[in-house]
Amino acid sequence: MPFKYFGKINFTPYTKVDKFADYLQKGKLMGTQCEKCGEKYFPPRADCLKCMNDAFKWIEYSGNGTLHSYTKIYAAPKGFEDIAPYTLGVVDLEEGGRLISWIKDIPDKEIKIGMPVKVVPRIFEEIPEIKLYYTIEKS
Protein backbone atom coordinates (compact mmCIF):
# COMPACT_ATOMS: atom_id res chain seq x y z
CA MET A 1 0.00 0.00 0.00
CA PRO A 2 2.02 2.98 -1.23
CA PHE A 3 2.07 6.19 0.86
CA LYS A 4 0.21 8.04 -1.90
CA TYR A 5 -3.02 6.52 -0.54
CA PHE A 6 -2.60 8.34 2.81
CA GLY A 7 -4.78 11.43 3.19
CA LYS A 8 -7.66 12.93 1.23
CA ILE A 9 -5.15 14.65 -1.03
CA ASN A 10 -1.61 13.35 -0.79
CA PHE A 11 1.31 15.68 -1.54
CA THR A 12 4.19 13.25 -0.77
CA PRO A 13 3.75 9.93 -2.61
CA TYR A 14 7.30 8.89 -1.73
CA THR A 15 8.89 8.76 1.72
CA LYS A 16 11.28 6.54 3.66
CA VAL A 17 8.45 5.81 6.10
CA ASP A 18 5.97 4.61 3.46
CA LYS A 19 5.19 1.39 5.38
CA PHE A 20 3.06 3.65 7.60
CA ALA A 21 0.27 3.34 5.02
CA ASP A 22 0.53 -0.48 4.95
CA TYR A 23 0.09 -0.65 8.70
CA LEU A 24 -2.72 1.91 8.65
CA GLN A 25 -4.66 -0.21 6.14
CA LYS A 26 -4.34 -3.12 8.60
CA GLY A 27 -5.79 -0.92 11.33
CA LYS A 28 -2.51 -0.17 13.07
CA LEU A 29 -1.25 3.27 14.02
CA MET A 30 2.52 3.08 13.91
CA GLY A 31 5.35 5.38 14.87
CA THR A 32 9.09 4.92 14.52
CA GLN A 33 11.82 4.32 17.07
CA CYS A 34 15.52 4.96 16.60
CA GLU A 35 17.47 1.67 16.64
CA LYS A 36 20.42 3.37 18.34
CA CYS A 37 19.17 5.79 21.00
CA GLY A 38 15.59 4.56 21.33
CA GLU A 39 13.91 7.94 20.69
CA LYS A 40 10.27 7.51 19.55
CA TYR A 41 8.58 9.53 16.80
CA PHE A 42 5.03 10.33 15.87
CA PRO A 43 4.68 11.52 13.14
CA PRO A 44 7.20 8.86 12.05
CA ARG A 45 10.73 9.89 11.06
CA ALA A 46 13.27 7.81 9.16
CA ASP A 47 16.24 9.73 10.54
CA CYS A 48 16.71 10.33 14.25
CA LEU A 49 16.47 13.99 15.20
CA LYS A 50 18.54 13.43 18.35
CA CYS A 51 21.46 11.20 17.34
CA MET A 52 21.16 11.37 13.51
CA ASN A 53 21.11 7.59 13.21
CA ASP A 54 19.23 6.44 10.08
CA ALA A 55 18.11 2.97 11.19
CA PHE A 56 14.68 2.72 12.77
CA LYS A 57 12.00 0.18 13.67
CA TRP A 58 8.23 0.43 13.69
CA ILE A 59 6.36 0.51 17.00
CA GLU A 60 2.60 0.42 17.53
CA TYR A 61 0.77 3.32 19.16
CA SER A 62 -2.38 2.75 21.18
CA GLY A 63 -4.19 5.74 19.63
CA ASN A 64 -5.07 6.94 23.13
CA GLY A 65 -4.42 10.59 23.83
CA THR A 66 -5.79 13.93 24.96
CA LEU A 67 -7.08 16.81 22.86
CA HIS A 68 -4.47 19.59 22.81
CA SER A 69 -6.39 22.08 20.64
CA TYR A 70 -8.99 22.18 17.85
CA THR A 71 -10.64 24.38 15.23
CA LYS A 72 -13.60 24.15 12.88
CA ILE A 73 -12.66 24.98 9.30
CA TYR A 74 -15.35 26.88 7.40
CA ALA A 75 -13.18 28.33 4.58
CA ALA A 76 -11.64 25.16 3.14
CA PRO A 77 -8.72 24.86 0.72
CA LYS A 78 -9.04 23.35 -2.76
CA GLY A 79 -9.95 19.68 -2.60
CA PHE A 80 -11.66 19.92 0.81
CA GLU A 81 -14.66 22.13 -0.04
CA ASP A 82 -16.92 19.09 -0.31
CA ILE A 83 -16.44 18.12 3.36
CA ALA A 84 -16.50 21.66 4.88
CA PRO A 85 -17.17 22.65 7.57
CA TYR A 86 -14.99 20.10 9.36
CA THR A 87 -13.39 20.08 12.80
CA LEU A 88 -9.65 19.48 13.16
CA GLY A 89 -8.09 18.36 16.42
CA VAL A 90 -4.50 18.17 17.64
CA VAL A 91 -3.94 15.16 19.91
CA ASP A 92 -1.13 14.57 22.39
CA LEU A 93 -0.58 10.82 22.11
CA GLU A 94 -0.22 8.73 25.26
CA GLU A 95 3.17 7.37 24.12
CA GLY A 96 4.43 10.84 23.14
CA GLY A 97 4.18 12.77 19.88
CA ARG A 98 1.19 14.48 18.33
CA LEU A 99 -1.09 14.22 15.36
CA ILE A 100 -3.71 16.34 13.64
CA SER A 101 -6.86 14.96 12.08
CA TRP A 102 -10.62 15.31 11.81
CA ILE A 103 -12.74 15.00 14.92
CA LYS A 104 -15.51 12.49 14.18
CA ASP A 105 -18.91 12.21 15.81
CA ILE A 106 -18.30 14.48 18.79
CA PRO A 107 -20.85 17.32 18.96
CA ASP A 108 -19.23 20.82 18.95
CA LYS A 109 -20.51 21.54 22.47
CA GLU A 110 -18.82 18.46 23.88
CA ILE A 111 -15.39 19.20 22.42
CA LYS A 112 -13.09 20.31 25.24
CA ILE A 113 -9.34 20.81 25.30
CA GLY A 114 -7.84 18.20 27.62
CA MET A 115 -10.55 15.59 26.99
CA PRO A 116 -9.43 11.99 26.48
CA VAL A 117 -9.76 10.83 22.87
CA LYS A 118 -8.97 7.79 20.73
CA VAL A 119 -7.36 7.90 17.27
CA VAL A 120 -8.90 5.33 14.92
CA PRO A 121 -7.42 4.17 11.55
CA ARG A 122 -10.00 4.44 8.73
CA ILE A 123 -10.52 3.98 5.00
CA PHE A 124 -12.63 6.36 2.89
CA GLU A 125 -15.54 4.45 1.49
CA GLU A 126 -17.34 7.26 -0.29
CA ILE A 127 -14.63 8.12 -2.86
CA PRO A 128 -13.74 5.71 -5.67
CA GLU A 129 -9.97 5.59 -5.10
CA ILE A 130 -8.83 4.00 -1.84
CA LYS A 131 -7.70 6.60 0.73
CA LEU A 132 -6.42 5.91 4.22
CA TYR A 133 -6.68 8.27 7.17
CA TYR A 134 -7.42 8.32 10.87
CA THR A 135 -10.00 10.14 12.94
CA ILE A 136 -10.20 11.50 16.46
CA GLU A 137 -13.10 9.96 18.37
CA LYS A 138 -14.56 9.65 21.86
CA SER A 139 -12.47 7.30 23.95
Partner 1 sequence: MKVGIVGIGHGKFGDRSDATVQELAFEPFKQALNDTKNLRREDIDALIVGSVPEYHKQRSLPGVVAEYTGMNPQSAWLTEAACASGSAAIRTAYMAIKSGMHDIVAVIGIQKMRELSTPEILALMGRVGDVQWESIFGTTFPGYYALYANRHMHEYGTTREQIALVAVKNHYYGALNPNAFFQKEVSLERVLGSDDVAYPLKVFDCCANVDGAACVIMTNEKLASKFTDTPVWIEGLGSASAQMSVLRRPNLVEIPSAVEAVKQAYSQAGIKPSDIQVAEVHDCFTIAEIMAYENLGFCPKGKGGKFIEDKQSYNGGKIPVNVDGGLKAKGHPVGATGVSMATEIVKQLRGEAGKRQVSGAEIGLTHNVGGIGQYCFVHIFKR
Binding site for partner 1 (CB under 8 A): 6-12, 15, 43, 68-80, 83-88, 90, 97-102, 113-114, 133
- H helices, E strands: number in the chain: 1, 8
Nearer to partner 1, 37 or 46 (CB): 46
How many other C-beta atoms are found inside a 10 Å radius of the C-beta of residue 84? 12
Q: How far is the CB of 93 from partner 1 (least distance, A)?
A: 10
Q: How far is the CB of 53 from partner 1 (least distance, A)?
A: 18
Cβ atoms of residues 34 and 124 within 8 Å: no
Nearer to partner 1, 37 or 80 (CB): 80
Nearer to partner 1, 10 or 36 (CB): 10
Q: How far is the CB of 136 from partner 1 (least distance, A)?
A: 10
Question: 3-class SS at 51?
Answer: coil
Nearer to partner 1, 99 or 106 (CB): 99
115 alpha-carbon distance from chain centroid: 18
Q: How far is the CB of 76 from partner 1 (least distance, A)?
A: 6
- Contacts of residue 4, defined as CB under 8 A and 6 or more positions apart, other chains included, come to 10, 13
**What is the Cα–Cα distance from 75 to 66, expressed in whole angstroms?**
26
Phi, psi of 12 (to 5 degrees): -130, 80
